[in-house]
Structure 1
Amino acid sequence: MADDLANIFIPIEVQKKMSMGSSSSAHSCKISMLWNWYTIDSCFLAKSWHVTSRGMFAGTCIGIFFWVIAYCWFHRFIVEYDNSILDYKIKKYNLECQSCCGNDTNNCCDGDKIIDDKSSSSLSSNKEYKQNLVTDTTNNIKSPGSDLWTPLKNTFSHRWYLSWMNKEKEHIYPNPIEHIGRSGLYLIEWTVSYLIMLMWMYYNGYVIITMILGYFFGQLLFNYTPLTIMPKRDYTTPSC
C-alpha cells in the first residue's frame, strides 16, 4: 500500500532518477588502494574501462599481458636504434678516414689522428719511453675508494653536457633530426611506463600477476643480448 501511494504522489521523473541511481550503484566501479581480487565492476584508468563480466576481465588481463610485452619490445627497439645510429656513423667515419689516407702507405688512420708508421715504431722500440710510461701509469693508479669524491665532482661539474665542445676527442653525436626522433621515442617509452605504473597502483592481484608474467616473457623474447663481445678463438682439445 505504501509503495502504491508513493507511486501516486512522487512524480514520474523523480521515480526514473531513483531507479537509475539504484541501478548505477549496483554496477559502480570498485576501486581500492589495498590489495584486492576484484573482477566484475573493476575499473582501470578511466570510467569507460569498466569491467562488467568475467569474459571482459579475462580480455583485460590478456591485453595487459601483451601490453607489457610490447613495452619490453619497444625498449629494445630504442636501444637498437641508438646502436644502429652509432654503427652507421662509425662506418661512415672509417670510409672518410680511408679516403683521407689514400694510397699513402707511410701513414695510417688511427681514430681521429693520422699516425706515422716510422714514428710509432721508433717509440715502441724505445725502452726508455716504455719504462717512463709504465712508471707514470703506476704512479697514477689509486686504490679503490681512495678518492670517492672525484667522480661525483666531475659529474656535478656538468662537463659531460659540454663534451661536444672538446676537440681533443672524437665524439659521435646524432644529427638534429635523429636527436628529435630519439627524444620522441623516449617520450613514448616514458609515457607507457607511467601508465603501467598506474595499472599496478590499482593493487588488483590478477592484474599484477599478469604484468609480472608479461614482463618476464618480454625479457625472454627481446632481451637476449650478449654480455660482451670477444674475438673468436680456435679451441683445440689439450693433449694429456
Structure 2
Amino acid sequence: MDGMSMSTATPTPTEIMATSAMQSTLSSMEPTSSAGMGGMSSMGSAGGTDSSCKVSMLWNWETIDACFLSESWQIKSRGAFAGLCIGIVFLVILLEFLRRAAKVYDRYLLRQHMRKTSALAATVVNGSSETAHGALIAKENAATTLASAVPFRPNVFQQAVRALFHTLHFALAYWIMLLAMYYNGYIIVCIMIGAFIGFFALQWESIGPLSGIEGEYGIGRDGTGCHG
C-alpha cells in the first residue's frame, strides 16, 4: 500500500476547452427548445378552441357552430341562432310584402289607365244630343267597354319600377332558397312560419271578378309571385 502512489488525473488544456464548448452549446439550445415547446403548446390550445363549421346536406337540427352561406357566418351561441330564426321569419314576410307591393302598383297603373281612357271614350260617345236616362246609361256602359278594350302598355319609368319590384322579389326568394338548402329543421320551420304570417297579413283581400282590374289584362300573378 505504501509502495503504491495515488495519482490524481489532471485534465489537459484541450479537454478543458472541449468541455467548456459543449456546456455553452447546451446552454444556448435550452431556450430555443423551450420556446419551441411553448409555441407548439400555444398552437395546440388555439386549435382546440376553434371549432369547425357544421354543414350538412341532410336533414339536421344543428344550432351551435352551424354555418350559413359562408364560414364567417358561424353561429356561436343559442341567442345568435334565435336571432337568425327571427330574421328569417321577417325575410319571408318581406318577400310577401314585395309581392303585394308589385300587385298594388300594377293595379294603380291600370286604374290610372282606365280613368284616362274612360274620359276620352266618354267625350267621344257623349257627342250626341240624347238626354234620356236610358241613353245616358247606355253611353256610360259603352264608354266603360271601350276603355276596357284599349290595351295598356307601361312607359319606360313605370316598367323600370315594375322590374325593380321583380328583381328584389327574385333576389330575396333566391337567398331564402339558399338558406333552406342547408336542410336545417329550425330554418325550414321558420320559413314556413314567415310564409303563413306574410300571406295572412298581406294577401288578405277581396276575392272575386271585381277584386282586381289586372285580371282583365292578363297581368295577374300566381301564388309564386310570377306572371301568369
TM tier, smaller: 0.5 to 0.7
Match of 1:60 in 2: 84
**From 3, 9, 23, the counterpart of 2:49:** 23
Q: CA deviation at 1:12?
A: 6.0
1:83-138, CA deviations, whole angstroms, 9 ceiling, x for partnerless residues?
1111111111111222334542369454449xxxxxxxxxxxxxxxxxxxxxxxxx
Alignment partner of 1:204 out of 173, 177, 184? 184
Q: Cα distance, 1:43 vs. partner?
A: 1.5
- Name 1:8's counterpart in structure 2: 34
* 1:176 match: 156
The CA distance in 2 between the partners of 1:16 and 1:189, in whole Å, is 49
Aligned residue-pair number: 171
- How far is the alpha carbon of 1:72 from its aligned partner? 0.8
Q: Secondary structure at the match of 1:229?
A: coil
| Runs of at least 5 residues in structure 2 that lack an aligned partner in the other structure | 1-29, 212-228
Which stretch shifts more, 41-50 or 176-185?
Answer: 41-50
- Which letter maps to 1:40? I
Is 2:16 the partner of 1:36? no
Q: 2 CA distance for matches of 1:51 and 1:14?
A: 28
TM-score (norm: length of structure 2): 0.66
SS of equivalent residue, structure 1 residue 10: helix
Identity %: 32
Runs of 5+ in structure 1 lacking a partner?
114-168, 232-240
Task: After superposing the two structures, state which structure 1 stretch, 212-221 or 41-50, moved more.
Answer: 41-50
TM-aligned CA distance change 1:191 to 1:7, over 3 Å? farther
Partner of 1:194: 174
2:117 is the alignment partner of 1:93: yes
Question: 1:176: how far off?
Answer: 1.1
Q: Could you tell me which residue of structure 2 aligns to residue 79 of structure 1?
A: 103
Larger Rg: 2
Residue 223 of structure 1, CA deviation = 1.1
State TM-score, norm by structure 1: 0.63
Aligned AA (1:49): W
Match of 1:228 in 2: 208
Task: Give the CA deviation at 1:21.
Answer: 3.2
